[in-house]
Structure 1
Amino acid sequence: MSPNPMAGPGGMGGGGMGAGGMGGWSMLRSMRHGDDVRGHRVSRGTARRITAFARPYRRDIAVFLVTVVVAAVIGVATPVLAGDVINAITRGGPEAGTIVVRLALFIAGLAIADALLSLAQRWYSARIGEGIILNLRTRVYDHVQRMPLQFFTRTQTGALVSRLNNDVLGAQRAFTSTLSGVVSNVIQLVLTAAVMFTLSWQITALSLILLPIFIVPARRVGRRLAEITREAYNLDARMNATMTERFGVAGALLIKLFAQPEVEARRFAERAERVRDIGIQSAMYSRVFFVAMLLVASLAQALTYGLGGWLAVTGAVSAGTVVTLALLLTRLYGPLTALSNVRVDVMSALVSFDRVFEVLDLNPSIAEKPDAVAIPAGSGRLEFRDVHFRYPSAAEVSLASLEDVAALDRTVAEPVLRGVSFTVEPGQMVALVGPSGAGKSTTAMLASRVYDATSGEVRVGGVDVRDATMASLRDTIGVVTQDSHLLHETIAENLRYAKPDATDEELWAALRGAQVADLVRSLPDGLDTMVGERGYRFSGGEKQRIAIARLLLKAPSIVILDEATAHLDSESEAAVQRALSVALTGRTALVIAHRLSTVRDADQILVVDGGRIVERGRHEELVAAGGLYAELYRTQFAVADSPAPYVDEVGPEPVVTIPPHGYDD
């Protein structure tokens, strides 16, 4: 029987070569993955954790295994009954016709039972497998969402997605094809061998002589198949990475700006041609493998008919026995070849589970305490008390397999913040300024608990953020970054990300406050307009105002602006500044600033350098002091506010504005 639960044992009973083919496919698949799992060491406790995932389905698994066992018994019984039919015919007599009809009806009944068992197996297999996939995927997805930001900056997105797809599916096979295959093949092999040796040990022994002739060359073919399959997987991964990067808006724009579509097409064609060549090689190796297996099985049958026929002529065995042995032989080769690689099948499933558990075992580092308390509603006080912070090392937040490196970097990073202390009172605006890399954005991330302080306290509304519920912290603090992300969904769905139950009236009120309602009304689909990948259908200023509308809908009491106008032209910045003036009204604000206008309006300016606050005060005071702020004022702020056009260090952002009458202009 094939280990595939979709094909019951009855599905191979009639055809002489069917079972061998299915067993061969299982063996071929095992050999393809054999090298991948031999070197992988499964961690301790994996089997126990697998059992925990299977526990909710233990009754379904028990029923499933019963159907597999009964189907295996039917698979062996059918050839025996076929031999009885032949014996009844050869014996003749007045009762022969009745016996043959009864046996035929019995065989038909077994076929019907086998078909029903096959459907039951498939139902239970799907129920168990899909249920386990659901549990694993949701667990991994939820866990990954709780990982620190640095995890995502280090991890290859494709490798992480693979854990949610390929490895979860591999784990599913442990409870469907692998489990059913092992049980069914063992039972079928034992029953078949026992019946065959009972009928004629000479014919059985002769039939098995050819098995090594098939298995030894097949393993060599399997190793070559594994090599070209791995190369094909690598090439496919590279092509997928190329397409993902080039088909994104930024990649497509780069290709067009540098006029490289022919070069890109040629590079892609070279890889695609190699994939084609590998596909041809793989197809031929697979065909040679199956032809060889069919040939060996046919030769074994020929030997059975030859020796069995000679024994039947001499009267040593009956003709029905020869037919039974020939039919049983087809059910012997399949399980033997499949079980010869059962260790690889089991290890493949265990490796898939182990790779999923690797992700689940990563420490999220940002977690809500069981006794967390809610920040009082409307709290607007933000306080840093002697805060120190260093970014975690790669070994603390990531996996080597997700970064595609041999070993993770365990170097302890230098502190980014060194004893930062300040207080933002309710309704105040405090600006953070300083040179690049001083720790300004890190300070903002600690306030919103994207990271936790290494030591010291960050308090919101008098509550240490590590003791606060995540929901109350998210409700209290709103953040607008310099590159606000919009999901590839409608404007309404992007806004409701902040408040899922918001009405259309509330959405329009937020858009009006963000100075972008007129633009949205001018669009053909209004709130149902798709924003495009990362919001690229809108200009930078329009994206920022939609993000500000999302912030207004959330209505936090504390707003953090992380250089929200850094990459905008003068006109877009003016529109965003008007929107921000509405967003900041009556709210506490912590602003990372690069424009003089923002700094001048601040109630207090904190000058950060080397992870420390080196100066604090109002604009006029700090300019007069002649320190670092005065230098920044003369270089960064004054230049940024000069009449000359603003050009960012990395170049101006392409502006893609939606025309008022659609997308075709």
Structure 2
Amino acid sequence: MATTHRTGRVRTPAHDGGDAPAGPPGAGGARTARPDPADRRQLARHPVSPRRIAALFAPHRGTIVLVVVLITASSVVNLAQPFLVRGVIDDALPSGDTRLLLALTASMVGVAALTSVIGVVQTWMATAMGQQVMHALRVQLFTHLQAQSLGFFTRTRGGEVQSRLTHDIAGMQSVVTSSATGVASNLTTAVATAAAMVALSPAMSLVSLVVLPPAVWLSRRVALIRRDVTDERQRELAALHTQVEEGLSVSGVRLAKTLGTTPRDADRFTERSDRLVGLELRSQLAGRWRMATMQIVFAAIPAVIYLAAGFPATSGGMTIGTLVAFTALQGTIFRPVMGLLNIGVQWVSALAFFSRIFEYLDLEPQIVPPAAPVRMDPAGVRGEVRFEGVRYAYDDGADVLRDLDLVLPPGTTTAVVGPTGSGKSTLGSLLPRLNDVTRGRVRIDGVDVRDIEPADLARIVGVVSQETYLVHATVRANLLLADPGASDAELWRALGTARIADTVAGLPDGLDTVVGARGHRFSGGEQQRLAIARTVLRNPPVLVLDEATSALDNTTEAQVQEALDRLAAGRTTLTIAHRLSTVENADQVVVLQGGRIVERGAPGELRSADGPFARLAARSSRAGDHAAAP
């Protein structure tokens, strides 16, 4: 089972890669038998119905039945080997019967070939089935998470979402393709092997019942000790990986250099790496002790069998061939017995994986697609926007917007200003349905945005925000996100509108220049203008500008503002303003305070009205700043 990251910790691998002891095949891979406490907590928080899991595999009933049949057949056929060996030793070799010897040895090869072929087919079928189930579940989870509101991603760590979508599903795949088939294989092998042992020698079977339990107990005991060491090592590795991921990213390196924390970060990394040295040593020594202990155990097991075979009371007249065959079977039974003893752990781990996935699938999306969507052609949209009796509240019930009414006439620019926390950005998020109103409605050309086909709404409403996001790809790839079919000529026209065409043309690779992680190849102003160019390609009739220039210096702001003015021309634009300099050309200004509109009008009228806007402007002027919020 692959290493699987969890919230703040790392899930211990099912097989930790240590040395396997000499002895029966697979004995060294015995898994620990202590359920992970985190798995139990997860199941307590979000129980899983076995019926729900069974429903995932319902379309594959035929495959499951066939896989179980193949596993059973392979286990039974493979048991012929000891009996063939007994025939060679007891019959063919002593009598010099070459024909019988050829038949028996050929059968040994045939049995091995047949079990190998069955194993390949069984593995292929189980893996293919597991991949199909996981593919469907992975796509379902990804699509479901896309439907969540921004609030979900605000309160949920990005690493947690990625962990459930990738690591947990990968762990479930291992459960489906390995653990589940392993249970069936172990059960059939253990039962068939025990039956064969009794058939060969009932007396020796009783001796094995005495020898086997201590061997199983000792193996599990040593494995548990190593599990504890491995858990601690994995936690340290997780912390080390987190520091590498955060500290060696573009933002992490910038933060460390600007705050002067580089020496402290290096010391912390050194301490963690040093602790890993000791843990790795303990882990390897635990593996060596395990191997040495189990070597002694597995040397003692056949020794006891041979000893018992030497006494008439226990041998029962056993032949040499029977002794060899029985010893082989006795060694073979250890692995499936260990596997069966760990079914409980495997089951808890499997349920925990499913629980974590189902927990996300059971989240009710706050943004629900319309049952009967209204199709709107962006080319025919006039762009009249109305906020009617709008109220928006957080999950805890705290109001952000209260009874808000606002009309944005087609082709006009409305600037929204107000102090921090007044609800400006929340208002802007309602138009593209990044959030949904708690009460009231938002209409475009008389149609409630909640009734518009989501794909059409994305083409109707364009958004340029303060937090520009560029994917780690080329300039061309970032622009084509808005219009995959755009030609190079259209890309260059969009870049020209955004006042960044000359910058891109001056790059060695032009449109094929890689923007870097989160666009760090470009300055903040250049990133904003690339985002504007991307929106130009989208050509939306309605535009939301959410503090798009608030993080820029005055010179860059002027350049970006010019590009925004060109973009807004002829469109219905809602500008969330942080700097008063960006509202001078607005057709109307709306002042928000405490989630309510306290003033509205043209910029010049509001300045001379000695109201909230005028006081806000005066306060900003005294601060020597153009900010619309303190």
CA distance in 2, matches of 1:280, 1:313: 45
User: Is the partner of 2:407 in helix, strand or coil?
Assistant: strand
CA distance in 1, matches of 2:215, 2:93: 35
Q: Which runs of 5+ in 1 are unaligned?
A: 3-15, 393-411, 650-665
Please, which of 551, 555, 567 is the counterpart of residue 571 of structure 1? 555
Deviation, structure 1 residue 523: 0.4
CA distance in 2, matches of 1:569, 1:126: 56
Deviation, structure 1 residue 103: 0.5
1:142 counterpart residue number: 143
The change in CA–CA distance for 1:319 and 1:58 in structure 2 (over 3 A counts) is same
1:165 counterpart residue number: 166
2:476 counterpart residue number: 492
1:523 counterpart residue number: 507
CA distance in 1, matches of 2:42, 2:447: 46
Q: Per-residue CA shift, 1:300-338, capped at 9, x if unaligned? A: 111112222445997712221111101101111111111
1:37 counterpart residue number: 39
Residue 99 in structure 1 maps to residue 103 in structure 2: no
Deviation, structure 1 residue 146: 1.9
1:373-452 → structure 2 map (5 Å cutoff): 373-377=374-378, 378-392=381-395, 412-452=396-436
1:303-322 → structure 2 map (5 Å cutoff): 303-311=304-312, 316-322=317-323
CA distance in 1, matches of 2:253, 2:98: 77
Q: Per-residue CA shift, 1:166-201, capped at 9, x if unaligned? A: 211221123211111111111111111111112212
1:243-254 → structure 2 map (5 Å cutoff): 243-254=244-255
CA distance in 2, matches of 1:635, 1:602: 21
Deviation, structure 1 residue 55: 2.9
1:594 counterpart residue number: 578
Whether contact under 8 Å (2:577, 2:628) holds in the other structure is no
CA distance in 1, matches of 2:38, 2:332: 29
The one-letter code of the counterpart of 1:458 is: V
Deviation, structure 1 residue 90: 5.9
Deviation, structure 1 residue 355: 1.0
CA distance in 2, matches of 1:243, 1:36: 25
Q: Per-residue CA shift, 1:565-584, capped at 9, x if unaligned? A: 11111221121112112101
User: Is the partner of 1:334 in helix, strand or coil?
Assistant: helix
Deviation, structure 1 residue 601: 1.3
Whether contact under 8 Å (1:484, 1:543) holds in the other structure is yes
Deviation, structure 1 residue 222: 3.5
Whether contact under 8 Å (1:382, 1:461) holds in the other structure is yes
2:156 counterpart residue number: 155
CA distance in 2, matches of 1:318, 1:341: 36
2:531 counterpart residue number: 547
CA distance in 1, matches of 2:254, 2:186: 56
CA distance in 1, matches of 2:605, 2:259: 49
1:659 counterpart residue number: none
Aligned length: 609
Whether contact under 8 Å (2:42, 2:355) holds in the other structure is no
CA distance in 2, matches of 1:522, 1:648: 38
Comparing 127-136 and 565-574, the one that deviates more: 127-136
User: Is the partner of 2:469 in helix, strand or coil?
Assistant: coil
The change in CA–CA distance for 1:552 and 1:179 in structure 2 (over 3 A counts) is same
The one-letter code of the counterpart of 1:362 is: L
1:210-249 → structure 2 map (5 Å cutoff): 210-249=211-250
CA distance in 1, matches of 2:629, 2:306: 85
The change in CA–CA distance for 1:170 and 1:369 in structure 2 (over 3 A counts) is same
TM-score between both structures, scaled by the size of structure 2: 0.91
Q: Per-residue CA shift, 1:20-79, capped at 9, x if unaligned? A: 351441323x54x54443555365553222222223333333332222112111221111
Q: Per-residue CA shift, 1:581-638, capped at 9, x if unaligned? A: 2101110010112333432211111100000001111122222221211111112268
User: Is the partner of 2:550 in helix, strand or coil?
Assistant: coil
Q: Per-residue CA shift, 1:76-126, capped at 9, x if unaligned? A: 111111111111146526xx2221111100111111112212222332233
Comparing 452-461 and 289-298, the one that deviates more: 289-298
Q: Per-residue CA shift, 1:135-192, capped at 9, x if unaligned? A: 2222222222222112212212222222122211221123211111111111111111
Please, which of 602, 610, 617 is the counterpart of residue 633 of structure 1? 617
CA distance in 2, matches of 1:365, 1:141: 16
CA distance in 2, matches of 1:539, 1:440: 26
Deviation, structure 1 residue 438: 0.4
Whether contact under 8 Å (2:22, 2:298) holds in the other structure is no
Q: Per-residue CA shift, 1:466-512, capped at 9, x if unaligned? A: 11111111111011111211111111111111112211111111101
CA distance in 1, matches of 2:264, 2:618: 46
Please, which of 29, 49, 54 is the counterpart of residue 51 of structure 1? 54
CA distance in 2, matches of 1:107, 1:226: 39
CA distance in 1, matches of 2:514, 2:215: 59
CA distance in 1, matches of 2:174, 2:333: 23
1:304-343 → structure 2 map (5 Å cutoff): 304-311=305-312, 316-343=317-344
Residue 611 in structure 1 maps to residue 595 in structure 2: yes
Whether contact under 8 Å (2:308, 2:314) holds in the other structure is no
User: Is the partner of 1:210 in helix, strand or coil?
Assistant: helix
The change in CA–CA distance for 1:381 and 1:630 in structure 2 (over 3 A counts) is same
Report % sequence identity. Answer: 37
1:480 counterpart residue number: 464
The change in CA–CA distance for 1:446 and 1:637 in structure 2 (over 3 A counts) is farther
User: Is the partner of 1:232 in helix, strand or coil?
Assistant: helix
User: Is the partner of 2:366 in helix, strand or coil?
Assistant: coil
CA distance in 1, matches of 2:66, 2:167: 27
User: Is the partner of 1:371 in helix, strand or coil?
Assistant: coil
Whether contact under 8 Å (2:394, 2:400) holds in the other structure is yes
1:12 counterpart residue number: none
Whether contact under 8 Å (1:434, 1:440) holds in the other structure is yes
The one-letter code of the counterpart of 2:509 is: D
Please, which of 70, 73, 92 is the counterpart of residue 73 of structure 2? 70
The one-letter code of the counterpart of 1:129 is: G
CA distance in 2, matches of 1:287, 1:126: 33
CA distance in 2, matches of 1:451, 1:489: 29
Q: Per-residue CA shift, 1:376-401, capped at 9, x if unaligned? A: 53230111011111122xxxxxxxxx
Q: Which runs of 5+ in 2 are unaligned?
A: 2-19
Comparing 265-274 and 210-219, the one that deviates more: 210-219
Deviation, structure 1 residue 132: 2.7
Whether contact under 8 Å (1:311, 1:317) holds in the other structure is no
Residue 85 in structure 1 maps to residue 88 in structure 2: yes
The one-letter code of the counterpart of 1:221 is: V
CA distance in 1, matches of 2:40, 2:260: 47
Whether contact under 8 Å (1:511, 1:549) holds in the other structure is yes
The one-letter code of the counterpart of 1:215 is: V
TM-score between both structures, scaled by the size of structure 1: 0.87
Whether contact under 8 Å (2:419, 2:628) holds in the other structure is no
Residue 114 in structure 1 maps to residue 115 in structure 2: yes
Deviation, structure 1 residue 295: 2.5
CA distance in 2, matches of 1:88, 1:483: 83
Residue 22 in structure 1 maps to residue 41 in structure 2: no
The one-letter code of the counterpart of 1:345 is: Q
The change in CA–CA distance for 1:172 and 1:225 in structure 2 (over 3 A counts) is same
User: Is the partner of 2:421 in helix, strand or coil?
Assistant: coil
Whether contact under 8 Å (1:382, 1:425) holds in the other structure is yes
Residue 354 in structure 1 maps to residue 358 in structure 2: no
Deviation, structure 1 residue 640: 6.5
2:12 counterpart residue number: none
The change in CA–CA distance for 1:279 and 1:185 in structure 2 (over 3 A counts) is same
Whether contact under 8 Å (1:309, 1:322) holds in the other structure is no
The change in CA–CA distance for 1:609 and 1:319 in structure 2 (over 3 A counts) is same
CA distance in 2, matches of 1:201, 1:288: 34
Comparing 157-166 and 193-202, the one that deviates more: 157-166
User: Is the partner of 1:385 in helix, strand or coil?
Assistant: strand
